[in-house]
């Protein structure tokens, strides 16, 4: 190659490098200029590429975030890779965002997994924008029309509770694991709403349905006959995602809470005794419990609330996102910022609970033994994204739990000592008890 050719090639290379350098400079300048309009709260120092993932307990991330709040306060920044997340801990911060500034924090945050699961924001659990609003209104109105919160649903729950009692009795006081049977009983309530009928507990198709729902896989349904509405939001993907959400959220969380309840009754037998004394004085041993009984059973009500608080079945909450540029506690946060309102930190907030790390039904009772509501009780989240099935879940928990305690006294198997009872929750999006066996003795 001639000298002139070499010079021309060198000049072209230098020119290209200068152009690329200029573009890179302009990109980062504009990015810096734009980001200078915002100021995130402090947080742990982030590493390149991975951010703060090196310090995150991937099995129990809420533990890491709660611990970091001791250093950085109730509002801090956490980097998931290069992405900035706004973390809110404690009752005051979470309530301020989700309730006081509900318009600013009501969007659903998306991860790669939820994006695939919801096919781009379908359904109600991971739905976004106007589609979520339409499907939430449709779901609530449909559930109410089918009896949610009314006598028709109550009768279904009572009937299912009686079936559950029969299965418990079939074990004749011998040890058994209640996980599958409790999950089946709770799941049958959703089945009766969605399909209009219940399943036998041993039905293979029913058990497979539960495995799919509990595995957070989308149910394969074909709702073509229900899509007469002329709306761009009423399509198969949206309907399938919504039904899948109903099964996932309407079965697993209630089932986990009931299992926590039985485990805690064995852990604290004196509390179990007191619950059963109230059941006998208000309902007796023969009549099935009714939803109205709850008003006359303050101790039972307090115990159920405390089971939900300590059980803490959705510790991380579902991811939120800012709907637009917003100011929160003096920090200017851009639109689209993922937000983690840490529910576990609310349910164990030491400024709100006298003994936050103990199972103590007195958290919900006054000096006269009357039930007391607590604002920091947020197992269903709060604000615009509060669980749409809260009313149904509360009715299920009361009727199932009351009937079980009406009929049985629960004890650990003889070979298991009380000190060996493991209260360490399982890891995951939902937090349940480790598998356990119990003895259901006729009461």
pLDDT band at 123 (very low <50, low <70, confident <90, very high): confident
**More confident site: 4 or 415:** 415
Question: Is there a domain that residue 16 lies in?
Answer: no
429 shares a domain with 405: yes
Question: Is there a domain that residue 407 lies in?
Answer: yes
- Residue 221, pLDDT > 70, answer no
pLDDT band at 116 (very low <50, low <70, confident <90, very high): confident
337 shares a domain with 364: no
CA distance linking residue 79 with residue 84, whole number of Å: 5
146 shares a domain with 82: no
* Tokens, residue 386: 């509060």
**More confident site: 215 or 268:** 268
What does the DSSP 8-state code read for residue 281? H
275 shares a domain with 324: no
CA distance linking residue 47 with residue 322, whole number of Å: 25
Domain residue limits at 53:
36-120+314-347
CA distance linking residue 151 with residue 139, whole number of Å: 19
- Residue 208, pLDDT > 80, answer no
Phi then psi dihedrals of residue 337, to 5 deg: -75, 125
323 shares a domain with 283: no
Question: Is there a domain that residue 29 lies in?
Answer: no
- Whether 322 contacts 186, CB under 8 Å: no
**Of 419, 45, 434, nearest to 266 (Cα)?**
419
- Residue 31, pLDDT > 70, answer no
pLDDT score for 410 = 97
What does the DSSP 8-state code read for residue 219? P
**More confident site: 181 or 238:** 181
Q: Which of 142-146, 178-182, 414-418 has the highest mean pLDDT?
A: 178-182
392 shares a domain with 264: yes
pLDDT score for 408 = 98
Question: Is there a domain that residue 401 lies in?
Answer: yes
Candidate from 45-59, 60-74, 141-155, 182-196 with smallest mean pLDDT: 141-155
393 shares a domain with 415: yes
207 shares a domain with 217: yes
**More confident site: 139 or 184:** 184
What does the pLDDT average to over 116-120?
Answer: 75
150 shares a domain with 66: no
> 237 vs 70, 224, 243, 297, CA distance in Å?
42, 11, 10, 43
CATH number of the domain at 60, please.
3.30.43.20
pLDDT score for 213 = 61
**More confident site: 251 or 174:** 174
Burial grade of 274 (CB within 10 A; 0-12, 13-18, 19 or more) = middle
Question: Is there a domain that residue 397 lies in?
Answer: yes
pLDDT score for 231 = 63
322 shares a domain with 354: no
245 shares a domain with 102: no
What does the pLDDT average to over 108-131?
Answer: 82
Phi then psi dihedrals of residue 395, to 5 deg: -65, -45
69 shares a domain with 177: no
Average pLDDT, whole number, for the chain?
86
CATH number of the domain at 406, please.
1.10.630.10
CA distance linking residue 315 with residue 108, whole number of Å: 17
Question: Is there a domain that residue 400 lies in?
Answer: yes
Per-residue burial over 85-109, b if 16 or more Cβ lie within 10 Å, else e, is: bbbbbbbbbbbbbbeebeebbbbbb
High-pLDDT (> 90) share of the chain, %: 61
High-pLDDT (> 70) share of the chain, %: 86
Domain count of the chain? 2
3-state SS record for 182-216: HHHHHHHHHHHHHCCCCCCCCCHHHHHHHHHHHCC
pLDDT band at 214 (very low <50, low <70, confident <90, very high): low
Question: Is there a domain that residue 96 lies in?
Answer: yes
């Amino acid at each position: 190659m001639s000298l002139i050719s070499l010079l021309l090639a060198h000049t072209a290379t230098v020119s290209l490098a200068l152009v690329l350098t200029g573009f890179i400079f302009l990109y980062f300048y504009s990015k810096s200029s734009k980001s200078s309009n915002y100021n995130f709260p402090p947080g742990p120092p982030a590493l390149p590429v991975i951010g703060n993932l090196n310090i995150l307990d991937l099995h129990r991330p809420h533990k890491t975030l709660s611990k970091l709040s001791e250093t950085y306060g109730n509002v801090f920044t956490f980097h998931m890779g290069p992405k900035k997340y706004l973390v809110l801990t404690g009752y005051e911060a979470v309530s301020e965002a989700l309730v006081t500034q509900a318009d600013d924090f009501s969007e659903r945050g998306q991860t790669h997994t939820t994006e695939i699961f919801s096919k781009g924001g379908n359904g109600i659990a991971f739905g976004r924008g106007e589609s979520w609003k339409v499907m939430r209104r449709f779901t609530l109105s449909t559930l109410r029309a089918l009896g949610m919160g009314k006598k028709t649903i109550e009768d279904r729950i009572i009937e299912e509770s009686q079936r559950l009692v029969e299965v418990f009795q079939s074990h004749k006081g011998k040890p058994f694991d209640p996980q599958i049977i409790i999950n089946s009983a709770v799941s049958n309530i959703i089945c009766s709403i969605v399909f209009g009928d219940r399943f036998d507990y041993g039905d293979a198709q029913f058990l497979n349905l539960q495995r799919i729902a509990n595995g957070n896989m989308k149910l394969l349904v074909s709702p073509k006959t229900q899509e007469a509405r002329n709306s761009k939001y009423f399509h198969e993907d949206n309907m399938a995602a919504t039904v899948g959400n109903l099964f996932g959220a309407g079965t697993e969380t209630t089932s986990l809470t009931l299992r926590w309840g039985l485990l805690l009754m064995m852990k604290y037998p004196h509390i179990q005794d007191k619950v059963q004394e109230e059941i006998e004085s208000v309902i007796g041993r023969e009549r099935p419990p009714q939803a109205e009984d709850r008003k006359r059973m303050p101790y039972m009500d307090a115990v159920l609330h405390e089971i939900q608080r300590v059980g803490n079945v959705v510790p991380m909450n579902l991811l939120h996102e800012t709907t637009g540029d917003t100011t929160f506690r003096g920090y200017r946060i851009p639109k689209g910022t993922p937000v983690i309102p840490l529910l576990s930190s609310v349910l164990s907030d030491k400024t709100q609970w006298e003994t936050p790390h103990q199972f103590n039904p007195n958290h919900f009772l006054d000096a006269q033994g009357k039930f007391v509501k607590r604002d920091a009780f947020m197992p269903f989240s709060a604000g615009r994204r509060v669980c749409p099935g809260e009313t149904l879940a509360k009715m299920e928990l009361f009727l199932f739990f009351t009937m079980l305690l009406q009929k049985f006294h629960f004890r650990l198997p003889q070979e298991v000592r009380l000190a060996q009872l493991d209260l360490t929750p399982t890891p995951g999006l939902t937090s349940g008890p480790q598998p356990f066996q119990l003895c259901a003795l006729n009461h």
